[in-house]
Structure 1
Amino acid sequence: MRLFLIPISTRRALIYARPLRRDASKELSILDRVTTKAAQTWAGWEEAEKGWKKHLVTWGNKVQQRIPFEEWGLKSIPSLTTQRRIDEQYGSKKIEVLYPANALRLEKVPAILRTIATERQDFHQKKMRWSLGIAPFTAPLGLIPVVPNIPFFYLVYRGWSHWRALNGSRHLEFLVDKNLINPISPPELEELYAKRASRALDNTPADTSISDMVDGVEQCDDRILLKMSDAKRLASIFEAPELALEAERAIIQVGEQLEAKKEKAKEEAKANAKENDQKDEKKDS
């Protein structure tokens, strides 16, 4: 397994694991096989031109886009049990973590990975229990003819999703705890981030030294680093086609959150200015 640590903004990063070997499918658990079959079924429904399948897929894809990119990233990391089932020697050598040294400081990589691994564990555990606990109460809806039991399947899917993210987070925490990570900064990745960080840091020269560039990234406020077109570029650099979708999702979500934060700050500034004006008017009167 190989991990990719991808800064989306100057404060937020996406973790992504290269998918399991295609030839290891026979080693997958029953649950993984079931979910793979469900994914294939969903893909078949996407081919429908009309009817409930088309409407369900359209709704489902919108729902999936709202799932936090952090959850998707953790889900890409297989459980420690699964990884050990595939590789009996797993845990005896370090795992490569590819990252851009001009956007993330080397000595901070373990701390960043630990934060990503632990900050959402309680959330995923609570949501997993809630989703799987509520799902059985929706089962009677399946008695209705023709109409699929959407609430039941959605709750089971969300429970499974949180379970996968929880296992991925625990696996990542294990790697950090056991010092099994080997951070590597590929030149191609540094070249991409040199251009993007240069733009984010008010046109700092792209040929700025790595140490000065990462200093600038750490000192500035939270700003988006990547463009949508960079998602496919990252997938090409890492030779991981599946990464493009995850990077696009992360770029969209972080961009929207930063924009919302900016708008909120503007509204607060206006409210404060109005409050100050009213105070001044009272003083004058």
Structure 2
Amino acid sequence: MRLFIIPISTRRALIYARPLRREHAKDLSILDRITNKAAETWAKWEEADKGWKKHLVLWGNRVQQRIPYEEWGLKSIPSLNAQRRLDESYGSKKIDVLFPGNAIKTEKLQSMLYKIATDRQDLHRKRMWWSFIACPITAPIGLIPLVPNIPFFYLAYRGWSHWRALNGSKHLEYLVEKGLLNPISLPALERLYAKRVSRALKKSDVEQPASSMVEDVEKSDDRLLLRMDDAKKLASMLEAPELALEAERAIIQVEEKLQQDGASRDQDVKKDSHKEKDL
């Protein structure tokens, strides 16, 4: 397994683990096989021109876009048990963590990863149990002829999703606490982020040393670094095709959050100015 840390903005990053390779398919757990089968079925439904399958896919894709990118990132990390099934010696050597050293300080990487691993554990645990407990309540809907039990499948999916994210977060926490991470600042990522950081911070010198550039990132407010077309570049660069979709989703969500934060600040400034006038 190899981890990637992709800064989306100067304050937010996506974590992504390269998925299990296809030659290991025979070692997948029953749950992973079911998941793969469900993904194949969903892909076939996406080809439908009309009918309930088409409507369900459109609704499902909208739901998936609203799932936080942090959850998707943690879900990409296999459970510790799954990784040990593939490699009995897992845990005896370090895992490479690729990142751009001119956008993230190497000395802060460990604390960043620990925060990513632990921040959402309680949320995923609570929502996982809530989803699984609520599933049986929706089961009677399945008795209605020719009507798919969408509430049941949605709750089951969300429960599974939170379960995967929780396992991924625990695996990442284990790697951080055991000192099993090997940070590597990848030159290709540094070249891409040199341009993106310079643009975001309105700096003209893309040849600025990494140590100097990352200091500028630290001092800046939260600004978007990546564009949508960067997602496929990253996927190609890191030889991880699935990363493109994850990065696109993260860029959209972070951009929306920054716009909301900016609008809130503008409203606060207007309120303060009105108060000063009243005084």
Query: What residue identity is the alignment partner of 1:58?
Result: L
Q: Which residue in 1 is equivalent to 2:189?
A: 189
CA distance in 1, matches of 2:254, 2:272: 27
Question: Partner of 1:82 in structure 2?
Answer: 82
**Structure 1: gaps of 5 or more residues:** 280-285
Aligned to 2:226: 226
Give the equivalent residue in structure 2 for 1:283: none
Larger radius of gyration: 1
The 3-state SS of whatever aligns with 1:96 is strand
Matched, 1:215 2:215: yes
Show the counterpart of 2:69.
69
> 1:146-172, CA deviations, whole angstroms, 9 ceiling, x for partnerless residues?
010000000000000000000000000
The SS at the match of 1:212 is helix
Q: TM-score normalised to the size of structure 2?
A: 0.99
1:60-139 residue pairs with structure 2 within 5 A?
60-139=60-139
Alignment of 1:53 with 2:56, yes or no, is: no
Deviation at 1:204, TM superposition (A): 4.0
Give the letter for the 1:85 counterpart: R
Unaligned runs of 5+ in 2: none
Q: What are the Cα deviations for residues 114-152 of structure 1, in whole angstroms up to 9, with x where unaligned?
A: 010000000000000000010110000000010100000
**Alignment partners' CA distance in 1, 2:186 and 2:122:** 34
RMSD, aligned α-carbons: 0.7
- Deviation, 1:203, is 2.2
Distance of 2:40 and 2:200 partners within structure 1 = 40
Return the TM-score normalized by structure 1: 0.97
Counterpart-to-counterpart distance in 1, 2:133 and 2:205: 54
Distance 1:104 1:271 in 2: 35
In structure 2, C-alpha distance between the alignment counterparts of 1:218 and 1:239, rounded to whole Å: 29
Mapped partners of 2:220, 2:203: distance in 1: 13
Q: Alignment identity in percent? A: 67
Pairwise CA distance, 1:236:
1.1
SS in 2 for 1:205: coil
Counterpart for residue 8 of structure 1: 8
Could you list the runs of 4 or more consecutive aligned residues of structure 1 that deviate by over 6 angstroms after TM superposition? Answer: none
What is the CA-CA distance between 1:277 and the residue it aligns to? 1.5
CA distance, structure 2, for counterparts of residue 167 and residue 30 of structure 1: 16
Tell me the distance in 1 between the aligned counterparts of 2:204 and 2:68.
Answer: 31
Give the counterpart letter for 1:46 in structure 2: E
Deviation string 1:190-227 (CA, Å, 9 cap, x unpaired) is: 00000000011112411111111000000000001111
Aligned AA (1:124): H
Q: Distance in 2 between matches of 1:102 and 1:204?
A: 15
CA distance in 1, matches of 2:210, 2:46: 45
Aligned equivalent of 1:168: 168
Counterpart Cα distance in 1 of 2:149 and 2:273: 52
Query: What SS does structure 2 have at the residue aligned with 1:97?
Result: strand
Match of 1:249 in 2: 249
Quote the offset at 1:275 in angstroms: 2.0
Partner secondary structure for residue 44 of structure 2 = helix
Cα separation, 2, equivalents of 1:277 and 1:152: 55
Aligned residue pairs, count: 279
Q: Which amino acid aligns with 2:23?
A: D
Which stretch of the first structure deviates more once superposed, 83-92 or 201-210? 201-210
